[in-house]
Structure 1
Amino acid sequence: MASVLVSTTLTGLHFGTTTLLTVLLRWLGYIQGSYLPLPELLKFVLFANFSIVGMNVSLMWNSVGFYQIAKLSMIPVSCFLEVVFDKVRYSRDTKLSILLVLVGVAVCTVTDVSVNLKGFLAAVIAIWSTALQQYYVHFLQRKHSLGSFDLLGHTAPVQAASLLLVGPFVDYWLTEKKVYAYDYSVISMFFLIMSCTIAVGTNLSQFICIGRFTAVSFQVLGHMKTILVLLLGFIFFGKEGLNLHVILGMVIAVLGMVWYGNASSKPGGKERRIYSAPSNKLHKQELSDSTETEEV
């Protein structure tokens, strides 16, 4: 019996389609030439690929409830990275709003929770690699003055090549199904093309959102997608599972997102600490030297 096209290789096709778009945009002149050091490019691709494989493995080896907890854990990890590397300081309201979002999403999505050692390790790898990949999206754009299209133009080809190279082996290891044994039909090809097309917008929106804001904002506001998926599921596939418990969680999560947007945009809501002591000391030294010169 033919097997299905599985996730790692499919993601490689997604980035392959994204690469074609960036090549077209560069040819049309919408993407200008830019530079990204090879070590930083490879580091980014390593984090991104571990994120993709880690999330897929985590979902396979853990219960859905623990998988959702792992996804929620990315927000505090992203906060930690910003505090350590960017010296970001969050206000009390910003911290509480993030906590409210976490509680709300947990209430409406986390049900059965079971975990095993290999599933836990996969979740840890997925959490940290995803948080690092998203942090690097913002970091590289800021450090090298790259636009979202520019950075995607650098990273997408390498991700596509690496995932298409190792994807079939990873997918066979995970599912014991050969990717290329799939019996293609017109309908399956249509949905494959649709998947790749939608993925281009998804990849680009991630780079734009994180580049414009931060990984933490992307994670917090990104859980609106979780709420919408739940709502659409109840609308189109029946109201089984819809109860006061789930509705309460959705309301709490949305209120937390609104609060976060308001709190983080206020002065002091989320800011980088700037240490000016060395420059002040140097300025005082210059004034002292100037005074001594005038006295002479």
Structure 2
Amino acid sequence: MRRVLKRKGSDASETGRAQEELRASMFSNFSPEKAKNLQQRLCIPSVALTFNFVVAIGIIFMNKWVLKNAGFHFPVLLSFIHYVVTLALIAILNTLSLIPPSPPLKSTPLFTLGLVMSLCTGLANVSLKYNSVGFYQMAKISVTPTIVLAEYLWYKKKVSFPEVVALAVVSIGAAVATVTDLQFNLFGACVALSWIIPSATSKILWSSLQQRENWTALALMWKTTPISLICLLIMIPILDPPGAFSYSWNYINTSMILISGVSGFLLQWSAALALGATSAISHVVLGQFKTCVLLLGNYYIFGSYPGTTSICGAFVAIAGMSFYTYLNLQNGKLKSGKQSPRKVHDQETKDTNVPDAFNGQPI
């Protein structure tokens, strides 16, 4: 028995050492920069945007079923459950060593991102509760010029005149297609206006941290989700009605809420991938495209007639989105075909400082 126990103990220790070596090799192979390059190769803009589009359409119907058919009238608590499921799934991935190490960064941008993400979710639900759908859509459309202005002030990023025309066509078409009434009260209007800045800030930070700081989508979610959870937990008693504990938590309702939570994880992941592969403005344009597709889909599939004006506005918005996508593709080709003089100088400097294979000195 002593020999058997000793052999089992040695086998267990060898297995543990093998697992640690495997985990160390995985982390060394997937450094932040390599993981970011792998994400960019696998999730090209078309794949990331399509993934986000499909998941967003699915979660709309899922949340509609939970909030209406299941009688779960707690939107902020539902967002909190989404983030809890997201954190649990990311923790499993982190335990399996499938999340690369995070690049060095101060905690201030991460805290800001987690805070604005929770504010964006909570204030959007409150705005939809107190305002009409038309005013809510107008607030969403105003996010586009806010992002353009914020990126110019922060990063000196300029938008060309054809892109401004395309974005204006998209915004006008989406407004004509979706804005049917502008009924609101003073408190709802203040909430809607206060939602615009966190929404624009969250998209800019998601895109900037991935493109400038070598963050991957999952690594960024792993760091910011706990912050969003704490902020949502504070907002639940303020924004949600009472009665969550007396809700009928039966098997069917709980299962649908958990499925909605998994969909929320996929939505956040796909949105992060789309923001890392494209830009904040492109993600907003994609959101308006989803709205127009839902409007036209309800008309052609379910026979819901929104009116000739709304249908024409949807087609105008889609035309503007197509033109904006064409401009982005042309700019991408120009950037890939041309190399800046600074990069050329850095490459030449790098080539001249390559160590000699024989004596280790620069050639």
TM-score interval, normalised by the smaller of the two chains: 0.7 to 0.9
Select which of 246, 259, 272 maps to 1:181.
246
Which secondary structure state, in structure 1, belongs to the residue aligned with residue 158 of structure 2?
A: strand
The CA deviation at 1:268 is 9.1
8 Å CA contact 2:122, 2:235 repeated in 1: no
Which secondary structure state, in structure 2, belongs to the residue aligned with residue 135 of structure 1?
A: helix
For the residues of structure 1 that align with 2:168 and 2:333, how far apart are their CA atoms? 15
For the residues of structure 2 that align with 1:212 and 1:248, how far apart are their CA atoms? 31
8 Å CA contact 2:74, 2:244 repeated in 1: yes
- The residue that corresponds to 1:68 in the other structure is 137
For the residues of structure 2 that align with 1:184 and 1:113, how far apart are their CA atoms? 37
- The residue that corresponds to 1:122 in the other structure is 191
8 Å CA contact 1:168, 1:179 repeated in 2: no
- The residue that corresponds to 1:28 in the other structure is 96
- The residue that corresponds to 1:17 in the other structure is 85
- The residue that corresponds to 2:153 in the other structure is 84
- The residue that corresponds to 2:267 in the other structure is 202
8 Å CA contact 1:91, 1:270 repeated in 2: no
- The residue that corresponds to 1:226 in the other structure is 291
Structure 2: gaps (5+ residues): 1-69, 336-340, 343-363
User: Counterpart amino acid of 1:51?
Assistant: C
User: Counterpart amino acid of 1:28?
Assistant: L
For the residues of structure 1 that align with 2:189 and 2:156, how far apart are their CA atoms? 29
The CA deviation at 1:235 is 4.9
Select which of 232, 253, 257 maps to 1:192.
257
Deviation string, structure 1 residues 244-275 (Cα, Å, up to 9, x no partner):
2122111111111110011133239999xx99
Q: Pick closer, same or farther for the CA change 1:168–1:89 going to 2, 3 Å.
A: closer
For the residues of structure 1 that align with 2:281 and 2:114, how far apart are their CA atoms? 20
Q: Is the counterpart of residue 142 in structure 1 residue 211 in structure 2? A: yes
For the residues of structure 1 that align with 2:271 and 2:185, how far apart are their CA atoms? 31
**Stretch deviating more after TM superposition (5-14 or 224-233):** 224-233
Q: Give the length in aligned residue pairs.
A: 268
1:94-173 equivalences in 2 (<5 Å): 94-163=163-232, 165-172=233-240
**Stretch deviating more after TM superposition (77-86 or 185-194):** 185-194
For the residues of structure 1 that align with 2:71 and 2:320, how far apart are their CA atoms? 42
- The residue that corresponds to 1:41 in the other structure is 110
The CA deviation at 1:160 is 2.5
Deviation string, structure 1 residues 111-159 (Cα, Å, up to 9, x no partner):
0112332122111110011101111111222343111111111112322
8 Å CA contact 1:90, 1:270 repeated in 2: no
Task: Give TM-score, length-normalised by structure 1.
Answer: 0.83
The CA deviation at 1:101 is 0.6
User: Counterpart amino acid of 2:174?
Assistant: V
Q: Pick closer, same or farther for the CA change 1:193–1:270 going to 2, 3 Å.
A: farther
8 Å CA contact 1:22, 1:149 repeated in 2: yes
**Stretch deviating more after TM superposition (202-211 or 53-62):** 53-62
Which secondary structure state, in structure 2, belongs to the residue aligned with residue 89 of structure 1?
A: coil
> Between the two proteins, what is the percent identity of the paired residues?
28
The CA deviation at 1:14 is 0.7
Structure 1: gaps (5+ residues): 276-296
8 Å CA contact 2:275, 2:283 repeated in 1: yes
Q: Is the counterpart of residue 239 in structure 1 residue 304 in structure 2? A: yes
Q: Which has the larger radius of gyration?
A: 2
For the residues of structure 1 that align with 2:185 and 2:239, how far apart are their CA atoms? 21
- The residue that corresponds to 2:325 in the other structure is 261
8 Å CA contact 1:107, 1:246 repeated in 2: yes
The CA deviation at 1:3 is 7.0
The CA deviation at 1:88 is 1.1
For the residues of structure 2 that align with 1:188 and 1:87, how far apart are their CA atoms? 49
Select which of 281, 306, 316 maps to 1:252.
316
What is the RMSD of the two structures over their aligned residues, measured on CA atoms?
2.5
The CA deviation at 1:10 is 0.9
For the residues of structure 2 that align with 1:139 and 1:10, how far apart are their CA atoms? 28
8 Å CA contact 1:148, 1:208 repeated in 2: yes
> Looking at both structures, which has the greater relative contact order when contacts are Cα pairs under 8 Å and sequence separation is at least 6?
1
Deviation string, structure 1 residues 51-81 (Cα, Å, up to 9, x no partner):
1121112112212111110010001101111
